[in-house]
A and B are shown apart, each in its own frame.
Chain A
Amino acid sequence: MTAASPPEILRAPLVVEFPFTRSLGPVQSAFLTGLREGVVLGVTTADGKVMVPPVEYDPVTAEEIRDLVEVGTTGTVTTWAWNGSPRPNQPLATPFAWVLVRLDGADTALLHALDAPGPEAVTTGMRVRVRWAAERTGAITDIACFEPAGDGEPGTQAAPHSGEFADAVTGIVAEARLDYSYSPGRAQTAYIAGLSEQKTIGERCPSCHKVYVPPRGACPTCGVATTDRVEVGPAGTVTTYCIVNIKAKNLDIEVPYVYAHIALDGAGLALHGRIGGIPYDQVRMGLRVEPVWTEGGRFPDHYRPTGEPDADYDVYKELI
């Protein structure tokens, strides 16, 4: 047992990506299909307000709205903010203004980007027009951005529109990628650092004395920090297992194989790992196993039988 030493801070890139496929209702479908066709549609509420971008339900009465209208592609800036340092994925890579634009014929405003030479060229109340994207797919980004329009350009009134287009867009794929730098914290850092020396480091709860592997820094029973480090294993006992018959994508292991809970000697709970070096149908509860490390591996590749006699059930029954 050793006292915790100051941690060496580990970091690793962590990428979260989710291309959500989202279906569209009739209103959103008409709006986004309209953008693809170079037409901006809104909806009219019961009291005659025109909402662009369109909502499906009246925000005041919650009544369903389906009356589509076509509005202008020119409009008026209702507020703005100068973005001197565009961030990744934003509509323009050069400095631009974020704007809320009330399109001609609409009573509400649409958020988008305004391409302008500098903040001195932008004012609330200025006239702007849609700049369409070169390639349009039925997405809000079909509006590439807005651009300044002359004060003389005529505005248009909202006009009824069927909302019907050939080959309507019925869904979007909402791409998102977020980049993180993951740091595992004190307890897991010690565990990961131990693995690099082919040791398995657990932590003991100072209150109930259970040894957690891998440690997360807290005893979930007592709610206190687990600060005493303990090396466990290397050998352990299979407490329970399953036979995997479905090959996972990108996994270079032949099926069937055995995945097991393994209580390493000295540990207060079982961790899990693959069992190798024995036919899958001969793995059993109580089997004594030890880790097999591959060259350069940062964790055990799998566990294999030690050849010892099986552990007595009473020895590991509390750890199942």
Chain B
Amino acid sequence: MARYAREVAVVAFAQSDHLRRTDELSEVEMVMPVLHQVLAATGLKAGEIGFTCSGSSDYLAGRAFSFTMTLDGVGAWPPISESHVEMDGAWALYEAWVKIQTGEADTALVYSYGKSSPGSVRDVLTRQLDPYYVAPLWPDSVALAALQAQALIDAGETDEAGLAAIGARSRASAGANPHAQLSGAVAQGEYQVAPLRTGDCPPIGDGAAAVILAAGDVARRLCERPAWITGIDHRIEAHSLGLRDLTDSPSTRIAAEHAGVFEAPVDTAELHAPFSSQEVVLRKALGLAGDVAVNPSGGALAANPMMAAGLIRIGEAAARIHRGESDRAVAHATSGPCLQQNLVAVLEGDRA
């Protein structure tokens, strides 16, 4: 029996180059070329899209309702059906997928973007933490990831050399990704917050991505080899870090079970692991075999545009299926400190 009411596929994906700064561009100016690119790939016009959903965070821009400005890049007149999540675009994709499942739309445009350059993203992200017990201490995103890394080292699951190898492999893979912010040999560098060194941490940058979803025969018409979303689920864990076993990610595992990851082998995994240590946790939670291509795009260690990097994982996995380089891929997105929230999707291409 089919898992879902409707077949839904990613039929197109586009992303910007991810750069340390894009001062010359407003958010809409950064997003618009990506929107045009993804629409052009399908031949659809904005007015033909059934549902539009975006993901971003006002805290990155430091301005309220900044996402409404990027809607100008879509073309929202005559009025369109639109929504926004204050989350990574992977969750916007989930909302769009639900919209298609309910039969209210046959196609959806999903986009997300983040400019981290205007502020200090390490400090900005402290504002997503529990405001009573945690945020007043201003523990930055690297510090929280470092606590998780040390817990993994103490548990014997990795060591500093193992972490460095993850960063090195990611940036070597990114050599084939023209959009990546960091690629090739990058020095492991000094400790940022020990045990994490510069090479264990994601670059801070600006970027955008967009995906088009379509149902059934519409997908077949728009794309030679659609990347069917055969499973998708997302889960969250308790917000208090001290309640969690930081060496594990039960939310990822449960989401993966519900998405059907474990029902058949995958050949590709695009994991949203902004810190090298998080890849260790995710590999275990997803039970990835040694022959799976993990983050062939370079992953978030090569480019981590906040709020877009998770959607990019789905897009990269889908693009490999479009190109015939993958038959069954798992894509993962995360949000919050130490992998607090996790989304897992399985994408499959039709076999010849």
Contact = CB atoms under 8 A, between A and B. Distances in A.
Interface of A: 7, 9, 11, 14, 16, 20, 22, 24, 28, 32, 51-53, 55, 59, 78-84, 87-91, 98, 100, 102, 108-113, 119, 124, 139-141, 172, 174-176, 178-189, 216-225
Given A7-B24, A81-B150, A82-B193, 20 more contacts: A14-B118, A81-B147, A81-B195, A81-B196, A83-B143, A87-B138, A89-B138, A111-B139, A119-B194, A140-B137, A174-B135, A175-B136, A178-B59, A181-B119, A183-B24, A185-B28, A217-B32, A218-B29, A221-B76, A223-B73
B241 interface: yes
B217 interface: no
A90 B137 contact: yes
Given A14-B62, A81-B193, A179 B119 contact: yes
A190 B232 CA distance: 44
- By DSSP majority rule, is chain A's interface helix, strand, loop, or mixed? mixed
Interface stretch (B85-93, B123-131, B167-175): B123-131
5 contacts: A109-B241, A111-B137, A176-B135, A186-B24, A223-B75
Interface residues of B, number: 60
Residue of A11, A16, A24, A223 with most chain B CB atoms under a 10 A cut-off: A223
Interface of B: 23-29, 32, 35-36, 46, 59, 61-63, 69, 71-77, 118-120, 122-124, 127, 131-140, 143-144, 146-151, 154, 191, 193-196, 238, 240-243, 246
A220 B72 contact: yes
B137 A183 contact: no
A89 to B, nearest CB: 4
Contact of B72 (A9, A51, A183, A219): A219
Nearest to B149: A81
A178 B26 contact: no
Contacts of B132: 22, 24, 28, 32, 140, 172, 174
A114 to B, nearest CB: 12
A82 B59 contact: no
Given A53-B240, A59-B243, A124-B154, A186 B143 contact: no
A185 B27 CA distance: 8
Contact of B127 (A28, A84, A176): A176
Given A87-B123, A87-B140, A223 B32 contact: yes
B117 to A, nearest CB: 8
A90 B136 CA distance: 8
Contact of A182 (B118, B123, B246): B118
A220 B131 contact: no
A11 B72 contact: no
B147 A183 contact: no
Contacts of B148: 79
